[in-house]
């Protein structure tokens, strides 16, 4: 039963967090002058245009997955480095914002709505856990995507600062670099730094929503 519950929550995250992440990329790129993703139907919260089959299955089974990359044509940006950096940053920021919303809803439910309606402990626990897991997974997605290796979003921020010659050289090897990162994840060698960042963001969101427990 516990596994089924986790799969259900991961499916909810798959259909919310990942489309919001990818749509944020497309929205930012469009605002900065590149309508490529918009023209290809990626400026949408509909999950279907964003989901990758293998990434979706892994997301449900393990809590780690990916979507189809949002296409961006850098030639449409007036300032290429700024356009790449801001459009890349939009996805993780969207996930942090969604995590904040989930945490606010969790605390509103736990401290106000559940006592108001005198719900059973089972219902209280189930909904609280769903919202907490959604908070954590959104933070995980944001943090992982900020790892500064291609093709993750963090690499776009770093490479925006690199000379063009080095940038294009790095891009040639991005498919191999991501395989190395996946291997590091599977062996748990990134658990320490990623866990530290996940906990730091969770603690920050918990602090700024802490007033809800004291009202």
User: Taking the mean position of all CA atoms in its chain, how far away is CA 1?
Assistant: 26
Q: Shortest CA distance to 2 belongs to which of 124, 106, 125, 119?
A: 125
- Options 14, 17, 22, 83, the catalytic residue: 22
Assess whether 174 carries a catalytic annotation.
no
Structure tokens of 92?
């993780």
What span, in angstroms and rounded, lies between the C-alpha atoms of 55 and 22?
14
Q: Which residues pair with 67 in a beta bridge?
A: 51
- 76 near 145, Cβ under 8 Å? no
Catalytically annotated residues? 22
């Amino acid at each position: 039963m516990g596994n089924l519950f986790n799969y259900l929550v991961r499916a909810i995250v798959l259909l919310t967090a990942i489309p919001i992440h990818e749509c944020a990329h497309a929205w930012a790129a469009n605002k900065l002058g590149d309508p490529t993703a918009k023209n290809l139907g990626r400026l949408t919260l509909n999950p279907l245009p964003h989901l990758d089959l293998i990434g979706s299955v892994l997301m449900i089974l393990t809590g780690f997955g990916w979507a189809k990359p949002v296409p961006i044509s850098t030639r449409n940006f007036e300032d290429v480095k700024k356009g790449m950096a801001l459009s890349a940053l939009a996805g993780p920021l969207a996930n942090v914002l969604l995590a904040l919303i989930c945490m606010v809803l969790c605390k509103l439910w736990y401290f106000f709505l559940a006592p108001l309606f005198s719900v059973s402990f089972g219902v209280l626990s189930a909904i609280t856990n769903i919202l907490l897991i959604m908070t954590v997974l959104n933070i995980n997605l944001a943090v992982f995507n900020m790892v500064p290796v291609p093709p993750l979003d963090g690499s776009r921020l770093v490479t925006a600062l690199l000379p063009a010659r080095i940038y294009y050289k790095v891009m040639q090897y991005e498919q191999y670099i991501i395989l190395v990162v996946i291997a590091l994840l599977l062996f748990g060698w990134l658990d320490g730094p990623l866990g530290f960042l996940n906990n730091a963001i969770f603690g920050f969101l918990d602090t700024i929503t802490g007033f809800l427990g004291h009202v």
